[in-house]
Amino acid sequence: MLLHRFLFLVPILSSCLVGDFVPLLEGQITILHGDLGSPDSYSCSVSGLKGMGSDCGTKYDEMVFTAKILSVAPAPNDEFRLTLRPQTIFKGTPTRGMEILTAQRRCLPEMKTGDSWLFSLYRDKESKELIVNYGSRSGPEAEESQQIDSLRRLAGLDAMGIVKGRAYLEDEGNDESREQPSVNHTIVLTRAEDGRKFKALTDQKGEFEFNPLPAGKYDLDPNTKPGIWTMWSGKFDVEPHGCTDFDLDFHVDGEIAGKIIFPGGVDPSTWEVEVTPADEPGVVPASAWTDETGRFVLHGLKPGRYILVFEKTDMRKGPNLRVNLFAPGTPDRVNAQVIVLGKATLVDGVELVVPRFAIE
């Protein structure tokens, strides 16, 4: 039997967004089991979040509970209809003899009458059926004991929640991307209410977990280790009995810093600047916003040759550019300054002078 894996990345606004974090890429991984074109082949699809804080509790589930499977019956589309007897309830109001449907049944662990499972269910918007889906953290109790222990722990928290995750470095050498745990890496949370800071240290696997935190608004700062950087930082909420799991991918932190110099009378703050590889104008590996002085710092860049880009955008309110500009201040890319960046180095002092004719 052959396994074929396909990875699709589409920009969306995910329902798992936490607090004020920005939109992200959600990756849908599809694995085809069997030979392409074979009537016995089937695919398993699951969505995953990278970098974002995703829910590791019960926030987005209709019901979560353990139950004994009383019966297993065939259902349309090669699925199963299960009859259950709930045992331990973590969310919702399941009842004895309730029925649910599987989704991607062939991708789930084997299920049979008499088995005890952990079920995380959602309700289908059209059929109103309760669904157990592949990738829903559902499975036999023996295989989901760690998840069950975590759910019991969350249920016992009063006005507190859990924040955990992993930090790893994307090693992009030799044209292949590999993950290496970021060990002894301090992750910092700051509570908005009073500015109190909480710290957690990653272990040998790059994993971290804070002690239970009081519910409230927090700011995540994972960029505490010199030489590496991640774009994932910002505000999020800790909810009572909640759990947030961060997947933090770090990159070698090459930096380009400098200043946008405007004509007199133009506010230099909150303008977006970008860099592109000198030979790949359609690729934007980093962007940043100017501060109140027009200064910017671009992070997470690999060694290479770059061009600083200052683009016109229809989304901007107030003064805008008439044309795109490139450092040192030319509208022609062929005349742009090429910035040579070494591994984990900083090139500072890059200036882009905005001509008066380029501002509306």
pLDDT of residue 81: 98
Q: In whole angstroms, what is the distance from residue 285 CA to residue 124 CA?
A: 38
> Are the CB atoms for 110 and 72 separated by under 8 Å?
no
pLDDT of residue 9: 33
> Are the CB atoms for 206 and 217 separated by under 8 Å?
no
Answer yes or no: pTM beyond 0.85.
no
From first to last of its 360 residues, the chain has per-residue pLDDT tens of 333 333 333 332 222 333 344 333 444 556 655 555 566 666 787 665 454 678 999 999 999 999 999 999 999 999 999 999 999 999 999 999 999 999 999 999 999 999 999 999 999 999 999 999 998 889 999 999 999 999 999 999 989 999 999 999 987 655 556 899 999 999 999 999 999 999 999 999 999 999 999 999 999 999 999 999 998 889 999 999 999 999 999 999 999 999 999 999 999 999 999 999 999 999 999 999 999 999 999 999 999 999 999 998 877 777 889 999 999 999 999 999 999 999 999 999 999 999 999 998
pLDDT of residue 17: 32
Closest CA to 138 of 120, 151, 115: 120
pLDDT of residue 4: 33
Q: In whole angstroms, what is the distance from residue 319 CA to residue 193 CA?
A: 35
Structural domains for the chain = 3-55 (no CATH), 63-153 (2.40.50.120), 161-252 (2.60.40.10), 254-358 (2.60.40.10)
71 - beta bridge partners? Answer: 83
pLDDT of residue 215: 97
